[in-house]
Amino acid sequence: MQIDYQVMLADPHAHEFSVVMKLHGVASVPLRLSLPAWIPGSYMIRDFARNVRDIRVSCDDQPVSFDKLDKQTWQIAKPPDRLEIGYRVYALDESVRSAYFDDTRAYFNGTSLFLRVHGQEVQPYRVILLAPAFEGADDWKVATTLPSLDTDERGFGHYRAEGYEALIDHPVEIGIFRETGFSVRGVPHRMIFVGAQGADIDRITDAMPRICAEHVAMFGELPIKRYLFQTLATRDGYGGLEHRDSTSLICKRSDLPWSGNKEIGKGFRQYLALCSHEYFHLWNVKRIRPAAFADLDLSQEKHSELLWAFEGITSYYDELALPRSGVLPRSDYLDMLAPSLSRYYRNAGRRRQSIAESSFDAWTKFYKQDESAPNAIVSYYNKGGLVALGLDRLLRQVSDERQTLDDLMRLLWRRYGQTGKGVPERAIESDLAELIDRPVADFFQRYIYGVEELPLEDWLAGFGVGMQLRAAANAQDQGGYVERPKEASDTPVSLGARLGTQDGLVRVEQVSAGSAAEQAGLTMGDLLVALNGERCTQDGLQELLARYPAGSTADLTLFRRDRLRVVQLPILAAPSDTVDLYWLDEAALNEKVIRRREQWLSSSAKVGDG
């Protein structure tokens, strides 16, 4: 069967793509078509079919009857030999997971636009991208890794894909963008930027080859012929989604480097780590992937306990690659690592949910968080990255520094990535035990399948890093790198709630377990009016609380469901949940730890590789 899709940018003001699907040599009876309910890499049912409109089926301009079987599936009971299926897709989701179209740009993932023909998933597909004809789009170009068959200098024309899985794994950006490029081991890498006018992309081009080369050197090979970074810069955005040979990213415009500022600030560090994260997925997720995700059934949830390894280990390496590649000073790496530890300690849910459970329940808990989430669940990204640190420490320790987590990743690459086999649910534990020739069940039971507190201070000390826990100085304090431990100071008091505003009043958004807010019975939606008769404001509440010593109480006046109430608020000391990291003095370390620290932060790649 020959399957073609024609994509036209129909109406930017209605935000609709027009898709015409042409089938020749139809043999399936009945013929079923469906759109995925989720996109690989983002584990939440998104029901992309809800955006399909005006679907019609015809043969030689004569209508052909069809039925809709469920929310995302259509059936043609007696299809003729050839069919034309036309439909429109509403697109106003600016995220990397769906589709977007207005008079400034167009973007889509195949999961949003391309109907799947059941039983024909391994057929070659052809995509025809038509150049937009509306005013203002004369300079629009195409950026995608879809293999080109016959395209013009702007990228419009004919593309191909070998099977449906490949078809939906090449996001398409259309519009006006800036671009740059570089090469790693002879493989061209292209970066395009939308909304990044004025950004110093030369500085990005200086950093990214080194980061990419570090990952390539660690795995030992680069299994692609080209790679594309697509970046959308917005006022306030962050995120990314991996694909086999490209990634789509969203960042704050202020995170990009700007001309005249040569420092690598926190925003630029975050952007580089995001690029590093998605590039690492080129191996870990897109090729080394859970067996549960091996088939192409995107109609319903696919559960796996392994997301902690695929996202957590990737989160560990995304930042670690920055000092290893020489892009970031080693102390700046600790400044990035410390807030990750602070997030872990501020998450009471770590005591109730394991990262294996968090992985399995990603669909319904991690991706659908409510106000109770911080007290009930744990992030397999955040805690998974810290467990990866512990695994790295364990491997180095038991092998007398001969093996590291790098070796485990290379083993997984050889065993699963190169062969195309999916990783069974408990295989990483057995693979690791095989690698070091000793059981690791205790580690996995305590820290991956259990909720035992991570011994982070001990793990870090094994790398020559000191850790200090303290109370946060203010709401913006996430911890960071310090030259030496800070002397103990007076502990501030804390309400223990995330706050917002509503109608000029302070609104409770979330209450932390064990906090003063919880003990006073505060709940989401409460509007705080006054503390001991003095008006509460979001900016001034902490100052009000600081007037009262820990152990005392205060009258808190609030609105709940439009009724005025007064509750007793205990004044409690802020918890020690903020982490500062520092280098332990070499004079106090043995030679093994000194060598381990050096090896931990040393590059696997040669500068200028590629």
Domains of the chain: 2-175 (2.60.40.3650), 177-265 (3.30.2010.30), 283-464+587-610 (1.10.390.10), 493-573 (2.30.42.10)
- pLDDT for 609 equals 39
CB neighbour list of residue 246: distance below 8 Å, 6 or more residues apart:
144, 145, 170, 171, 227, 228, 229, 230
Report residue 427 as tokens. Answer: 């295989």
Give per-residue burial for 61-84: e unless 16+ CB within 10 Å, then b. Answer: eeebebeeeeebbbbbeebeeebb
Q: Which amino acid is at 153?
A: E
Going by DSSP bridges, is the β-strand pair 480-481/576-583 parallel, antiparallel, or unpaired?
Answer: parallel
Cα–Cα distance for residue pair 464/557, rounded to 1 Å: 49
The confidence band for 605, taking pLDDT boundaries of 50, 70 and 90, is low
Is the pLDDT reported for residue 184 higher than 70? yes
Q: What is the average per-residue pLDDT within 110-120?
A: 96
At 40-85, the pLDDT tens digits run 999 999 999 999 999 999 999 999 999 999 999 999 999 999 999 9
Going by DSSP bridges, is the β-strand pair 534-535/553-560 parallel, antiparallel, or unpaired?
Answer: unpaired
| Contact between residue 161 and residue 37 where contact means Cβ atoms under 8 Å apart | no
* DSSP result, 433-472: HHHHTS--HHHHHHHTSS-PPP-HHHHHHTTTEEEEEEE-
Please tell me whether the peptide bond between 188 and the residue prior to it is cis, using omega within 30 degrees of 0: no
- pLDDT for 264 equals 87
- pLDDT for 295 equals 84
At 390-415, the pLDDT tens digits run 999 999 999 999 999 999 999 999 99
- pLDDT for 606 equals 43
Q: Count Cα neighbours of 486 within 13 Å in the Cβ-side half-sphere.
A: 18
Is the pLDDT reported for residue 608 higher than 80? no
Is the pLDDT reported for residue 371 higher than 60? yes
Which residues, in sequence order, are bridge partners of residue 556? 531, 567
CA 321 to chain centre: 17
Locus of tokens 């195409």: 142
Is the pLDDT reported for residue 360 higher than 80? yes
Cα–Cα distance for residue pair 396/403, rounded to 1 Å: 6
3-state secondary structure of 87: strand
At 477-504, the pLDDT tens digits run 999 999 999 887 778 999 999 999 999 9
Going by DSSP bridges, is the β-strand pair 116-117/31-34 parallel, antiparallel, or unpaired?
Answer: antiparallel
CA 215 to chain centre: 18
Four-residue CA torsion sign, 110, 114, 117, 123 = negative
SS (H, E, C) 150-168: EECCCCCEEEEEECHHHHC
Is the pLDDT reported for residue 27 higher than 90? no
At 248-306, the pLDDT tens digits run 999 999 999 988 777 889 999 999 999 999 999 999 999 999 999 988 799 999 999 99
CB neighbour list of residue 534: distance below 8 Å, 6 or more residues apart:
544
Cα–Cα distance for residue pair 108/114, rounded to 1 Å: 10
Cα–Cα distance for residue pair 16/546, rounded to 1 Å: 54
Report residue 328 as tokens. Answer: 């970031």
Q: Which amino acid is at 335?
A: D
- In angstroms, what CA-CA distances link 13 with 16, 172, 195, 444, 589? 8, 20, 19, 53, 65
- The overall average pLDDT reported for the chain is 95
- Percent of the chain exceeding pLDDT 90 equals 93
Q: Which amino acid is at 29?
A: V
Going by DSSP bridges, is the β-strand pair 576-583/178-184 parallel, antiparallel, or unpaired?
Answer: unpaired
Cα–Cα distance for residue pair 571/323, rounded to 1 Å: 42
Q: Work out the angle at residue 588's Cα, subtended by the Cα atoms of residues 587 and 590, and round it to the nearest 5 degrees.
A: 90
Is the pLDDT reported for residue 607 higher than 90? no
Residue with the bigger pLDDT between 27 and 317: it is 317
| Contact between residue 576 and residue 469 where contact means Cβ atoms under 8 Å apart | yes
Largest CA distance in the chain: 85
CA 12 to chain centre: 29
Cα–Cα distance for residue pair 114/296, rounded to 1 Å: 14
- In angstroms, what CA-CA distances link 182 with 16, 213, 322, 589? 35, 11, 18, 41
Going by DSSP bridges, is the β-strand pair 576-583/465-471 parallel, antiparallel, or unpaired?
Answer: antiparallel
Is the pLDDT reported for residue 560 higher than 90? yes
Q: What is the average per-residue pLDDT within 558-569?
A: 95
